[in-house]
């Protein structure tokens, strides 16, 4: 009969809807092809720019404070505008890249980052600098999830992906090392705005090279893109972190702050409710219940929350307490970043031997020990203690983040790589914003009362000196004589005391992270999981080689 299909001839009719949609755009060959590593090199350059910009400002903070005279709140905004805006928009641009093309979003981020860098370099006042830093956050929100999602797409094999993530994270650490050094060198000869100008030639080079070499890729594009959901997430994250920032800056709980907190929580609740009802949500909320994914995000938040404020505190300690130049400050911070580079390069080998659970837990413990060792630092210079603490700190921090990012990215399907990368970077930036706010609040609580209680200083000057150590030095210089020297010594001692308590609090958060890491998978792959490989990847290694599962894992 005509309606019965003949053997070997496919039946007529539409293709089954369950068939996976092919990923558009050329991909650079099978696992091991040289094109993959060229793509990785381009992505690493992109990351280098963002990493340099994230740290180059730290050594310039005292100079910016002296030149622009920002208030304490404005100074926090100058530092935090970038991570705040970036965290708010990561989900929007990460999921947008899954829809319209990750390379397209990445190239747009290059242009935005370059323009914002020029505006920041020539900002005439704190308001303009805050706005430029916010625009840098927009560019960073385009760049960061795109680099990780493209990396997830072109490295479907987990062994190669672990190597790529190690190199990617090593470049991030290298950027952290280069940032203070470049900033110190520039501040030795030029004004503070020059620290932003280094981004412009890198972005100008990345645009044509990225357009020529990077492959375009998207997700499965099932269902319409949820723009309303993305805006809800952006507004909720912005308002929530804004409220935390205001409280962390030492401001009283005003109606505006309470309104921002309520708005943030309300918008995020609406976002979660909307995602649960949609057949094709932006974010797969069920992924948070999976140990490899949800626990990895928690580890990222705890790591960054505990440590992100320390870089700013360290820069002020080195320059204002010990009196080092910006260049000397960058050199003192170099051991931390070099140790992080070494941990990133050794990450794939450590992950294979220890597994995600033990690697993250040991990283947390090592970092906590390093932070406690740094409490030995005081008003006198201790270069050996500082270098040893920074080496342990850099290696432990990078070890933890490597295990968390690798577990999170490998657990996510390739079609949702942009959303997964956006969540990982959102966790990082959210931890950064909350960490600076919380640690800054603790620092202010220890520092301000001690300085404002100095006798013989006018009340207005005591209030100004309580905002920051830099302002205290400025007031002391204006007062002069014995009164000025008394204020300077009191401010220096209060800052060191506050730094010690901040370090102790950070160590406590890191120990909590070590306990949380126990929910990560014990090993990379189990035999039952290896039977379901992702298309285009190696299901098992050659004899004598460890098998790596690309995406789906059976957790112990």
Residues whose CB is less than 8 angstroms from the CB of residue 228 and which lie 6 or more positions away in sequence, other chains included = 274
In a domain, 26, yes or no: no
Average of per-residue pLDDT across 182-193: 78
| pLDDT tens digits along 306-351 | 776 666 677 778 888 888 877 787 788 788 878 888 887 787 788 8
Find out whether 411 and 524 touch, Cβ atoms under 8 Å: no
Q: Which two tokens stand for residue 431?
A: 């931890």
- Where does the pLDDT of residue 362 fall: very low under 50, low under 70, confident under 90, or very high at 90 and above? very high
The confidence score (pLDDT) of residue 440 equals: 74
Q: Quick one: 231 and 160 in the same domain?
A: no
Between the two ends of the chain, the Cα-to-Cα distance in Å is 53
Residue 462 covered by a domain: yes
- Look up the CATH number of the domain holding residue 488: 1.20.1250.20
pLDDT at 270: 92
- Between 389 and 186, the higher pLDDT residue: 389
Structural domain for 444, as ranges: 287-523
- Name the more confident of 211 and 152: 211
Give 253 or 18, the one with higher predicted confidence: 253
* pLDDT above 90: percentage of residues in the chain: 4
Could you read off the pLDDT of 385-399 as tens digits, one per residue?
989 988 998 898 888
Task: Using pLDDT thresholds of 50, 70 and 90, give the confidence band for residue 548.
Answer: very low
pLDDT at 502 > cutoff 80: yes
| Residue 203 and residue 109 share a domain | yes
Say if residue 136 is in the same domain as residue 257. no
Overall average pLDDT of the 521-533 stretch: 49
User: 63 and 206 share a domain?
Assistant: yes
Query: What is the length of the chain?
Result: 556
In terms of Cβ atoms closer than 10 Å to its own Cβ (0-12, 13-18, 19+), residue 281 is: buried
**Same domain membership, residue 313 and residue 273:** no
Predicted TM-score (pTM) of the model is 0.70
Higher-confidence residue of 262 and 221: namely 262
CA distance 508 to 414: 36
CB of 175 within 8 A of CB of 140? no
Whether 191 and 208 map to the same domain: the answer is yes
Residue 364 confidence class, pLDDT cut points 50, 70, 90: very high
Together in a domain, 443 and 326: yes
Angle at 511 between CA 510 and CA 512, to 5 degrees: 90
Distance CA 130, CA 60 (A): 15
Residue 135: the pLDDT is 92
Do 471 and 490 belong together in one domain?
yes
Which has the minimum average pLDDT: 14-28, 162-176, 190-204, 296-310?
Answer: 14-28
pLDDT reading at 291 higher than 80 = no
Residues 87, 54 share a domain: yes
| Amino acid 309: pLDDT | 60
Res. 415 pLDDT band, cuts 50 70 90 = low
Instruction: Say which residue, 6 or 391, is predicted with more confidence.
Output: 391
**The token pair that represents 508 in the structure block:** 């406590």
Over residues 506-519, the mean pLDDT reads 87
Same domain for 248 and 187? no
Query: Could you tell me if residue 133 is inside a domain?
Result: yes
Flag whether 185 is in a domain. yes
Q: Is the pLDDT of residue 510 over 80?
A: yes
Residue 539 lies in a domain: no
**pLDDT higher for 124 or 242?**
124
Residue 7 lies in a domain: no
State CA 218 to chain mean position distance.
Answer: 23
Higher pLDDT, 255 or 311: 255
> What is the tally of helices (H) and strands (E) in the chain?
19, 0
Reported as a pLDDT band with limits 50, 70 and 90, residue 527 is very low
- Nearest CA to 197 out of 113, 83, 134 is that of 113
Whether 185 and 242 share a structural domain: no
Residue 540 lies in a domain: no
Integer angstrom CA distances of residue 77 from 119, 137, 156, 193, 437: 16, 12, 40, 17, 10
pLDDT classification of 366: cutoffs 50, 70, 90: very high
Q: Which two tokens mark 301? A: 């938040």
Weakest-pLDDT range from 213-222, 240-249, 527-536? 527-536
- pLDDT tens digits for range 86-111: 878 888 888 788 778 888 888 999 89
H or E element: which one contains 304? Answer: helix 296-316
Most confident listed range (76-90, 147-161, 198-212, 282-296):
198-212
pLDDT for position 526: 41
Q: What pLDDT band is residue 252 in, cutting at 50, 70 and 90?
A: low
Handedness of CA 13, 19, 20, 26 (dihedral sign): negative
Position 218 scores a pLDDT of: 72
pLDDT exceeds 90 at position 211: no
Q: What is the pLDDT of residues 450-461, one digit of tens each?
A: 888 887 788 888
For residue 180, what pLDDT is reported? Answer: 66
Q: Quote the mean pLDDT of the chain.
A: 76
User: Does 480 reside within a domain?
Assistant: yes
Question: Mean per-residue pLDDT for 186-201?
Answer: 81
Q: Which of 143-147, 260-264, 547-551 has the highest mean pLDDT?
A: 260-264
Q: Hey, which of 33-47, 156-170, 320-334, 489-503 has the most confident mean pLDDT?
A: 489-503
At 245 the pLDDT is 66
Last residue of a domain, one of 236, 254, 279: 279
What pLDDT sits at residue 182? 74
Q: pLDDT at residue 62 above 90?
A: no
Q: Are residues 408 and 492 in the same domain?
A: yes
Overall number of domains in the chain: 3
């Amino acid at each position: 009969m005509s309606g019965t299909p003949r053997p070997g001839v496919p039946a007529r009719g539409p293709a089954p809807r369950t068939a996976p949609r092919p990923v558009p755009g050329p991909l650079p060959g099978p696992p091991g092809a040289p094109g993959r590593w060229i793509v990785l090199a381009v992505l690493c350059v992109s990351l280098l720019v963002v990493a340099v910009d994230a740290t180059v400002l730290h050594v310039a903070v005292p100079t910016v404070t002296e030149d622009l005279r920002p208030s304490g709140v404005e100074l926090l905004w100058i530092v935090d505008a970038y991570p705040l805006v970036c965290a708010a928009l990561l989900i929007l641009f990460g999921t947008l890249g899954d829809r319209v093309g990750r390379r397209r979003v990445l190239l747009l981020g290059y242009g935005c980052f370059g323009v914002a860098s020029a505006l920041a370099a020539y900002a005439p006042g704190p308001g303009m600098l805050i706005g430029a830093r916010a625009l840098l956050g927009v560019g960073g929100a385009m760049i960061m999830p795109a680099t990780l999602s493209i990396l997830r797409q072109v490295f479907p094999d987990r062994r190669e992906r672990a190597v790529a993530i190690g190199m990617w994270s090593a470049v991030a650490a290298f950027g952290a090392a280069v940032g203070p050094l470049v900033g110190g060198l520039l501040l030795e000869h030029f004004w503070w705005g020059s620290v932003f100008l280094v981004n412009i030639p890198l972005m100008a080079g990345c645009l044509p090279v990225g357009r020529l070499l990077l492959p375009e890729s998207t997700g499965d594009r099932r269902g319409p893109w949820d723009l309303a959901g993305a805006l809800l997430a952006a507004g909720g994250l912005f308002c929530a972190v804004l409220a935390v920032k205001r409280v962390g800056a030492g401001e009283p709980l005003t109606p505006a702050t309470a309104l921002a907190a309520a708005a943030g929580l309300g918008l995020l609740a609406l976002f979660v409710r909307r995602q649960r009802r949609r057949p094709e949500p932006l974010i797969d909320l069920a992924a948070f219940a999976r140990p490899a994914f949800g626990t990895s995000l928690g580890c990222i938040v705890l790591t960054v929350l505990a440590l992100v404020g320390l870089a700013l505190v360290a820069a002020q300690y080195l320059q204002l307490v010990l009196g080092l130049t910006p260049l000397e400050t960058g050199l003192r911070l170099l051991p931390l970043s070099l140790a992080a580079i070494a941990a990133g390069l050794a990450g794939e080998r450590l992950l294979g031997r220890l597994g995600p659970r033990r690697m993250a837990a040991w990283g947390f413990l090592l970092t906590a020990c390093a932070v406690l060792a740094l409490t030995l630092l005081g008003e006198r210079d201790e270069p050996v203690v500082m270098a040893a603490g920074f080496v342990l700190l850099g290696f432990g921090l990078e070890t933890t983040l490597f295990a968390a990012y690798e577990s999170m990215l490998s657990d996510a399907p390739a079609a949702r790589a942009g959303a997964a990368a956006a969540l990982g970077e959102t966790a990082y930036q959210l931890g950064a914003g909350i960490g600076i706010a919380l640690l800054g609040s603790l620092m202010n609580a220890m520092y301000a009362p001690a300085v404002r209680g100095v006798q013989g200083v006018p009340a207005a000057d005591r209030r100004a000196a309580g905002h920051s150590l830099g302002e205290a030095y400025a007031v002391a210089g204006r007062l002069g004589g014995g009164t000025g020297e008394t204020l300077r010594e009191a401010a220096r001692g209060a800052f060191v005391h506050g730094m010690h308590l901040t370090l102790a609090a950070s160590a406590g958060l890191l120990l909590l992270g070590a306990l949380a890491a126990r929910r990560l998978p014990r090993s990379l792959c189990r035999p039952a999981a290896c039977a379901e490989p992702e298309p285009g990847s190696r299901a098992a290694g050659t004899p004598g080689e460890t098998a790596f599962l690309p995406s789906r894992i059976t957790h112990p």
